[in-house]
Amino acid sequence: MIKTDLKIIAGQFKNSLIKSPASNLTHPMAEKIRGAIFNMLGDISGLTVLDAYAGSGILGIESISRGARQAILIENNIKAYNNINQVIKDLKIEDKVSLYPINNLKWLKLSDQTFDIIFLDPPYDKVDINALLILASRVNQNGVIIISVPESMVHQTMTDFKDFIFIKQKSYGSAQILFFKN
């Protein structure tokens, strides 16, 4: 596996390249998809973000670049964690990004924090809808949840997330991006 450079699309760190870990355990979100998500979110200045399956860290780091006040990134793969940690240091954003090398559900037991935006982009071979629901429960009132799942899981996700307000679905090849609001 080869490391891939990912480009930050907009904001303070626009065009900065970050490395994606060489692993089949992460699937970095393509620039086109990230651009569409952030265009839909609009101005995120001052908001708090949870990236519960950080992988490369690109979603949380892009959020900070675009003005988010704080991002919590959770990644339990040690290679991916080390990669993200180096990017955070290189960009000098330690004061805005907290990175945890732990299972995201274990992290929830250690914190009662809530968020304005929650990104749920789990590895497609390990999608646990119950875990996604538990993580989504930490969204603030009027907060947004962005979920990336394979096409085969869209129906189950829509059914299980019935307590949230469905906003939109976008399709990008095998990736289905679902937007919900609390």
Residues 87-142 pLDDT 10s: 999 999 999 999 999 999 999 999 999 999 999 999 877 789 999 999 999 999 99
Give the Cα separation of 169 and 72 in Å (integer): 25
Helix axis angle for 58-65 and 78-91, nearest 10°, is 20
Q: Looking at the DSSP assignment, which residues form a beta bridge with residue 118?
A: 50, 145
Q: How many domains does the chain have?
A: 1
Give the domain range for residue 154. 4-181
What's 111's domain CATH number? Answer: 3.40.50.150
Largest CA distance in the chain: 41
Residues 13-33 pLDDT 10s: 998 888 776 555 556 778 889
